[in-house]
Amino acid sequence: MASSKGSKAYFREGHFSGGRPLQAAGIEVVHDLPGVGENLQDHSEVYIQYACKQPITLNGRMDPLSKLRIGLEWIFLRRGLGVTNHFESGGFIRSDASVTWPDIQFHFLPAAMRYDGKQPLKGHGFMVLTGPNRPKSRGHVRARSADPNEHPEILFNYLDREEDREGFRRCVRLTREIIAQPAMDPFRGEEIARGRDVQSDDEIDAFVRQTMESTYHPCGTCRMGEDAMAVVDSGLRVRGLEGLRVADSSVFPSEPIANLNAPTIMLAERASDMIRGPPLLPASNAPVGLAEGSGERQRPGHPIRSSARGSGGGMDATRTMPAFPRRTADA
């Protein structure tokens, strides 16, 4: 089983699921597992785009001749712009001083366009893709009918929880703060993609609802646990059945902070060991630790935060914002 949605399809065809949704779809219930298809989660993100003052971005390579040259250079020489996905930088940060581990992810792309490459900015630009990585909203996957070829009903329920809406507000404001730093002055032009007039909570909420996209990290619909809504136990065995396990991202009780590929591979390798039965590897003795002072403050002091309503490309690099409060030991 390859995914959160794929697991649901398997269970539907096997008549294992929550009784009411299956009965409503005209499917006989053989084994009632009410948690199947529930607890659906996903990462999502928005694009925050800027014009670039210098002619150095990929928007200058969108003409047919440039595309042909990039393709030929990759095919015959294995070099050039075609060898990378162009997400050359990124990062994870904490949105607040009270947060222990990063809860916001960034990708930086040296171009301003949609994911599918359509509607690129005419002129040079760049963008930051960002979103909260600990979503609280939950959706579901449910069968529509007994026909296995009919697509299921998928409801991600994005932004249902206020925590997720506030998470996106922080993403937008922190992105603007980062791009407003003096180091970006030679490159940063006007903010586009709705632009600098989007400032209030309501304006940011509307921008997010209109532009957010999935990052294709669905999980959680056959979650692991011991309660009545859990589908598999800690050994990945389907509760109440013998000889059936689930080994994919659908068993994650909550969304991992980062992308799903590595944790899903980890899960699959662990499932293989559970089935084959070899002894566990010895505990790792690799040293781990945190840098001195890590987690005590969000920043060491007052950051320079340019105003989005100033002059010179919308930036005023003289404004400062107070640092986040110090994190206490019991936070």
DSSP secondary structure of 111-148: S-S-TTS-S--SS-EEEEEEEESS----EEEE--SS-T
Residue 217: active-site member: yes
- Exposure on the CB side of residue 206, measured as CA atoms within 13 A: 9
| Chain centroid offset of residue 222 CA | 20
- Tokens (6 digits) for 144: 């529509």
What residues form DSSP beta bridges with 105?
92, 131
Number of H-type helices and E-type strands within the chain: 6, 11
CB atoms within 10 A of CB 50: 27
Helix, coil or strand: residue 109: strand
Name the residue with tokens 């065995």.
237
Active-site hit among 107, 124, 140, 217: 217
Helix, coil or strand: residue 324: coil
3-state SS string for 253-319: CCCCCCCCHHHHHHHHHHHHHHHHCCCCCCCCCCCCCCCCCCCCCCCCCCCECCECCCCCCCCECCC
Q: What angle do CA 111, 69, 122 make, to 5 degrees?
A: 30
Residue 154, phi then psi, degrees to nearest 5: -120, 120
Enumerate the active-site residues.
217
